[in-house]
C-alpha cells in the first residue's frame, strides 16, 4: 500500500514508530506492506521517493529537527510543495495528521480534496475536515470509489467509530454520550485530588494531551468537534459548531469539585449526541454512572441502542501510539475492503 503522510508531529511520528517496530508482524499476520512514498510537513520539509522512505530514518531525521539528515538516495526528491506532492507522488492513500483547525479545516481540507481528485483514499486523525466538511468529502470519495476513514478523530485508536458504524450496524443508536476530551478529564480528575486548575492544565500540556491551543480543550470545542463528527457518522447530520450548546470547564472551581465529592458525585465534561442535536457541558454524575469512574486522560462513550441496550467503551482518547494506531487500523480496513472480490 503506497502511503503519503501529511504531518509529522506527535501523531504522524506515532504511525511511523508503529510501522518501524511492527513491520514483520504486520506483513506476516495481515499481509500489510506499507510503502511511504511521500511525507510532508509545514516547517520541516517534504520528501518523495517512489520506492519508499524508511520509517526509522525518517524518525531519526525528525529527532534532529527536520529532513536534512535523511540519507540521500537515488530518486529522492526534496523540493515538492504539499499539493504538488499529493498530485504527483502516486500514493493510494493519503494520511492527514496535521493540526486541527475547527474554524476553516484548512489547509487539511484542500489536501483532502486534492488527494481524492488524485484517486487516493483518505485517512484522517485531523478533526477539522470531518467536523466541517464530512458530507462533501464523502460525496466526492463515493464518486471516485474511494474511502474516507477517520477513526483517530474520536477517542484516538479506541475503536469508537468502528464500533458504532461497523460492529453495531443493524442496531439503532438512540444516543451517544461520552467523555471525549482527555485534557479536561485529566484536569477534573486532578482537581478532585486537590490540584489547582492551572497546575493540572500545565501537566496535561506537558503530557501531550492538550491541543496546540488548549482553549479548544478547556472551552469544550475539541469535544464539540467530536460531537459534529459523531453526528455526521451516526446520524448523517450536517451540524455546525453554532448549532451545538457548548460549555467548557473554565468556570468549574475547586469548591464546585469539592461539593460534588461531598455529595458522592463527580464532575465530568459530557458530550451528547442524538439524532436531533448535540451538546457539551460539565455535569455532576452519580458514581453509579459508568462514565463517573473514567479518570485521567481516558475517554469513554456509551451508545444507547435498541437491540443491545447500553454499550460503554472505555480507552485512550489521545496519545502518540494510541492515535498512530487509529491510522493503522484505518489503513488495514482499507486494505481489507480493497481486497474484497
Cα distances from 79 to residues 76, 95, 150, 229, in angstroms, run: 10, 20, 29, 35
**Interaction residues for ligand HSE, span 250-309 (CB under 6 A):** none
Contact 175, 274 (CB under 8 A): yes
Question: Considering the rule CB under 6 A, would residue 220 count as an interface residue with ligand HSE?
Answer: no
Report the distance separating Cα 33 and Cα 18, nearest Å.
13
**Interaction residues for ligand HSE, span 198-217 (CB under 6 A):** 209-211, 217
Among 92, 96, 151, 222, the residue binding ligand HSE under the rule CB under 6 A is 222
Report the distance separating Cα 230 and Cα 236, nearest Å.
9
Least distance (Å) from ligand HSE to the CB of residue 211? Answer: 4
Which phi and psi (to 5°) does residue 303 adopt? -95, 125
Question: Considering the rule CB under 6 A, would residue 150 count as an interface residue with ligand HSE?
Answer: no
Least distance (Å) from ligand HSE to the CB of residue 210? Answer: 5
Query: Pick from 44, 153, 165: which is nearest to 108 by CA?
Result: 153
Q: Is 340 a catalytic residue?
A: no
Question: Which CB atom, from 34 or from 178, has the smaller least distance to ligand HSE?
Answer: 178
Among 181, 189, 237, 305, the residue binding ligand HSE under the rule CB under 6 A is 181
Which residues are CB-neighbours of 312 under 8 A, at least 6 positions away? 290, 291, 300, 301, 302, 303
Question: Considering the rule CB under 6 A, would residue 183 count as an interface residue with ligand HSE?
Answer: yes
Among 12, 55, 159, 182, the residue binding ligand HSE under the rule CB under 6 A is 182
Q: Which stretch binds ligand HSE (CB under 6 A): 5-13, 49-57, 75-83, 179-187?
A: 179-187
Question: Considering the rule CB under 6 A, would residue 6 count as an interface residue with ligand HSE?
Answer: no
Question: Considering the rule CB under 6 A, would residue 317 count as an interface residue with ligand HSE?
Answer: yes
Extract the C-alpha cell encoding 81.
Answer: 510543495
Q: In the 8-state DSSP scheme, what is residue 320?
A: H
Query: Pick from 271, 302, 258, 266: which is nearest to 284 by CA?
Result: 266
Residue in this structure with the C-alpha cell 444516543, named with its chain if needed: 175
Considering 127, 146, 226, 268, which one is annotated as catalytic? Answer: 226
Question: Which CB atom, from 220 or from 317, has the smaller least distance to ligand HSE?
Answer: 317
- Give the footprint of ligand HSE on this chain (CB under 6 A): 181-183, 209-211, 217, 222, 317-318
Catalytic residues: 226
Amino acid at each position: 500500500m503506497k502511503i503519503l503522510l501529511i504531518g509529522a508531529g506527535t501523531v504522524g511520528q506515532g504511525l511511523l514508530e508503529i510501522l518501524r517496530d511492527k513491520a514483520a508482524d504486520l506483513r506476516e499476520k495481515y499481509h500489510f506492506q506499507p510503502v511511504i512514498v511521500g511525507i510532508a510537513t509545514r516547517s520541516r520539509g517534504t520528501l518523495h521517493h517512489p520506492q519508499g522512505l524508511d520509517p526509522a530514518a525518517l524518525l531519526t531525521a525528525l529527532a534532529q529537527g527536520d529532513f536534512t539528515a535523511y540519507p540521500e538516495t537515488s530518486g529522492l526528491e526534496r523540493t515538492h510543495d504539499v499539493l504538488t506532492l499529493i498530485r504527483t507522488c502516486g500514493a493510494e492513500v493519503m494520511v492527514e495528521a496535521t493540526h486541527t483547525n475547527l474554524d476553516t479545516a484548512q489547509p487539511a481540507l484542500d489536501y483532502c480534496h486534492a488527494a481524492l481528485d488524485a484517486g487516493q483514499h483518505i485517512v484522517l486523525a485531523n478533526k477539522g475536515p470531518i467536523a466541517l466538511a464530512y458530507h462533501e468529502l464523502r460525496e466526492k470519495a463515493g464518486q471516485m470509489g474511494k474511502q474516507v476513514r477517520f477513526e483517530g478523530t474520536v477517542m484516538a485508536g479506541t475503536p469508537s467509530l468502528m464500533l458504532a458504524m461497523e460492529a453495531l450496524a443493524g442496531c439503532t443508536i438512540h444516543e451517544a454520550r461520552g467523555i471525549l476530551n482527555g485534557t479536561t478529564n485529566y484536569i477534573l480528575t486532578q482537581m478532585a485530588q486537590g490540584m489547582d486548575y492551572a497546575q493540572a492544565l500545565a501537566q496535561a500540556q506537558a503530557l501531550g494531551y492538550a491541543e496546540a491551543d488548549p482553549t479548544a480543550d478547556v472551552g469544550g470545542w475539541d469535544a464539540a468537534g467530536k460531537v459534529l463528527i459523531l453526528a455526521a457518522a451516526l446520524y448523517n447530520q450536517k451540524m455546525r459548531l453554532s448549532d451545538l450548546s457548548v460549555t467548557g470547564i473554565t468556570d468549574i472551581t475547586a469548591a464546585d469539585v469539592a461539593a460534588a465529592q461531598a455529595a458522592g458525585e463527580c464532575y465530568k465534561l459530557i458530550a451528547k449526541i442524538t439524532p436531533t442535536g448535540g451538546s457539551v457541558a460539565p455535569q455532576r454524575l452519580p458514581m453509579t454512572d459508568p462514565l463517573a469512574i473514567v479518570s485521567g486522560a481516558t475517554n469513554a462513550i456509551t451508545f444507547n441502542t435498541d437491540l443491545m441496550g447500553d454499550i460503554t467503551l472505555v480507552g485512550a482518547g489521545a496519545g502518540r501510539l494510541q492515535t498512530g494506531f487509529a491510522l493503522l487500523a484505518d489503513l488495514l480496513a482499507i486494505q481489507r475492503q480493497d481486497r474484497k472480490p
